[in-house]
Structure 1
Amino acid sequence: MPDHGLTRARTMGPIAEAVRMAGGSLARVFGRAGMPLSLLDTPDRLILLRDQLALVEAAIREIGDPALPARLSTATGIAGLGPIGTQVRSSDSLGAALRRVETVTPQLLQTATWTGLRRRGTEAFYGYAVTERIEAGRQANEVLALGYLLGTVRHFLGAAWQPERAVVTGAHLAARSEIETLLGCTVVLGPRAGLVFPAHRLDAANPSRTGACGASADAPIGSGLGTCVAHLIELALDEARPSIDGIAGRLGLSRRTLQRRLEAEGMGYAEIQRRVLIRRAETLLAADRLPIGRIGLELGYADAAHFSRAFLAWTGLTPRRWRDSRRGGPEA
């Protein structure tokens, strides 16, 4: 079974803005996707890829616009790819850029996906696929991705460039004519989503090469079930202390299956949760904005005394002494 994919919360920003502009309810959209609205204030946090797909579907339903994914990504273009856009703009040629995107996308933007280049005789296929077994929202996510693929190629071939055709998976595509207008080409149904264009265009030079290819402000996303569990626990802390059953449910697993798979990776749920709680506690204490009792409540403790005892066991310091040490203040 493939790892559960992760992606950065910044991918939801344009979706949320579109819902706002259409007069829709963000609370309802995020509620349907099972996600907290606080994610909009923390764009560098990681979420499950399946949650992003659910959010896109919820936004389409909220504002009644099946072409929304294509509208968003074609309007945003390469700027919506964040660090991937930097990789593209620093490549010598279109072909080099697409090969680089294939390497860095699962490291910096989203895991459990493939974005890459395949040559088929005189044709080039710049494709995108979700490798995790997710069906809900898959096609809408592919349409969203096509607009970003289009923006990548247009950096080299110009804003008016159009592919020969685009491909999405599935048996039916809603709002096909509108999506075709937005992408500037015919859209057909096939086994894998992507853009098709003449292979000789891969030699096109970068008209405005900038920056160094290796640099990125984003740390690699990482992989593995333990990583997903840690991020889900951290995300759930925005609302309440999560349970192992709740986290297992979010991953589509039973409690025992989750425990067994974590054990196979040499870890346990309790230890992962402890590390997340320590990290969140230290972040809140270092920010120096909330009283210690409130921080304890944020982390799911009944009162400051329970939190202080737990923090002392974790670090060897009380929360107050830890905070004072960060300020350079007294030890006592």
Structure 2
Amino acid sequence: MGPIAEAVTAAGGSLRRVFSRAEMPLTLLDTPDRLILLRDQLKLVEAAIREIGDPALPARLSVQTGIAGLGPIGLQVQSAETLQAAVARVRTVMPCLLQTATSTGLYRQGAQAFYGYAVTERIESGRQANEILALGYLLGTVRHFLGPTWRPAWAVVTGASLVAREEIEALLGCEITLGSRAGLVFSSHCLEIPNPKRYDPVTTEAADNEPIGDDIAACVAHMIELGLDEARPSIDGIARRLGMSRRTLQRRLEEAGTRYADIQRAVLVRRAKELLSGEALSIGRIAIELGYADTAHFTRAFLEWTGVTPSQWRRSFT
């Protein structure tokens, strides 16, 4: 979100309008590294493109950011022995991340290799923009091994046409064709190139970027926490954002041995304690931040959760 916000601001666009069109709270900019769903990412990129009139924005963002913008995936790339090993690691890690809903794959055709990318969710709006964004990151992965000036033989995106083709080709450094699957094409001998800057991620650093797994309860907890930036999220709203019905979500949570109410309560307790541990917000303001109508309702809920009032907890634990 950070690079998108910078691009919109630099072009004189309105961040408030961009986030409003994407149906996302502007307060997410306060924590730009938080994970968001793929469908929300696509909406945000599409809104930014519309706001500043730059269809080449996805390529510009990903090429400029490189593997530094890949978070935990970037760590896997940088610690792999060869390019082929890095591609294999990315393929394994990506399905385990909540925000992706995507897959990558490596295909050899004689002397050529095709490093492909696909959106696995049924999302049509913004799909091509997401593919172009991904191509920039795939390019960054290969360039980590082959150098910043390396160029693929050509790139492929899906769709019937491509707006701003010449500008995007200039950013990626190669010709782009239209096909059934997005990806980069290059010589297969490149896959054996060793990692020139290999390192082992420090445990504490990796923990800071630890992705959310495919545990449905963890996904719901994360979505509830994101929703608190805007309003108290409902189970219907969370189910809709996850692309499933309320009943399906309830059934999945039951199979995981939990309930929506239990997850929501745990998230609220954790966020309440985080806010109370500082002195910047009054208890009344914290109540509003957590979706309560007034201080009294929040106080009663917190007392039920912890056995003490918010003011007592703040005095005892700060």
Q: 3-state DSSP class of the match of 1:126?
A: strand
| Distance (Å, rounded) in 1 between the aligned partners of 2:78 and 2:97 | 16
1:326 matched to 2:300: no
Task: Quote the Cα distance in structure 2 between the aligned partners of 1:155 and 1:251.
Answer: 34
The farther-off stretch of 205-214 and 79-88 is 205-214
Coordinate RMSD, CA, aligned? 2.1
| 1:196 Cα offset (Å) | 0.9
1:239 aligned onto 2:194: no
Output the CA distance in 1 between the equivalents of 2:197 and 2:41: 32
Query: Could you say which residue in structure 1 is the equivalent of 2:280?
Result: 289
Q: CA deviation at 1:82?
A: 2.6
For structure 1, the residue ranges without an aligned partner over 5 or more in a row are: 1-11, 328-332
1:42 aligns with 2:31: yes
How far is the alpha carbon of 1:260 from its aligned partner?
A: 4.0
Match of 2:111? Answer: 122
**Aligned with residue 302 of structure 2, among 311, 318, 322:** 311
Taking the aligned partners of 2:143 and 2:15, their CA distance within structure 1 comes to: 32
**Structure 2: segments with no counterpart, 5+ residues:** none
Q: What SS class does the counterpart of residue 47 from structure 1 fall into?
A: coil
Instruction: Say if 1:93 and 1:258 are closer, same or farther in 2 by CA, change over 3 A.
Output: closer
Does structure 1 retain, via aligned residues, the 8 Å contact 2:212–2:219? no
Secondary structure, counterpart of 1:119 in structure 2: strand
Change (3 A) 1:109 1:298: closer
* Residues 84 and 109 in structure 1, CA contact (< 8 A), matched pair in contact too: no
**Partner residue, 1:299:** 290
Equivalent pair of 1:83/1:108 in contact (CA under 8 Å): no
| 1:69/1:144 contact within 8 Å kept | yes
Distance 1:101 1:254, change over 3 A: closer
Structure 2 match to 1:174: 163
SS in structure 1 at match of 2:36: strand
Structure 2 CA distance for partners of 1:225 and 1:82, relative to 1, 3 Å: closer
1:138 aligns with 2:138: no
Change beyond 3 A, Cα 1:267–1:108: closer
Shift of 1:150: 0.6
**2:178 matches 1:193:** no
CA distance in 2, matches of 1:154, 1:222: 28
Does the C-alpha gap of structure 1 residues 266 and 231 become closer, same or farther in structure 2, counting only changes over 3 Å? same
Q: Show CA shifts across 1:60-92 (max 9, x none).
A: 111111111111111222222233223222222
- 1:140-189 CA-to-partner distances (Å, cap 9, x unmatched) read 00100101111111121122211111111122211112211111111112
Distance 1:25 1:143, change over 3 A: same
SS in 2 for 1:116: strand
Q: 1:184 to 1:277 in 2, by over 3 A?
A: same
Q: Secondary structure at the match of 2:108?
A: strand
TM-score by length of 2: 0.91
User: Which deviates more, 84-93 or 184-193?
Assistant: 84-93
Distance in 2 separating the partners of 1:240 and 1:62: 25
Q: CA deviation at 1:202?
A: 0.8
Distance in 2 between residues matched to 1:142 and 1:107, nearest whole Å: 19
> Which moved further from structure 2: 55-64 or 218-227?
218-227
* CA distance in structure 2 between the partners assigned to 1:150 and 1:303 by the alignment: 51
Report percent identity of matched pairs: 71
Letter in 1 for 2:279: D
How far apart in 1 are the matches of 2:311 and 2:39?
40
Partner of 1:276: 267
- Mapping of residues 1-332 of structure 1, within 5 Å: 12-107=1-96, 110-212=99-201, 216=206, 217-327=208-318
2:189 is matched by which residue type in structure 1? H
CA gap 1:108/1:213 in 2 versus in 1, 3 angstroms: farther
Q: What's the secondary structure of 1:314's corresponding residue?
A: helix
Contact 1:311 1:317 in 2 (8 A): yes
Normalising to structure 1: TM-score of the pair?
Answer: 0.87
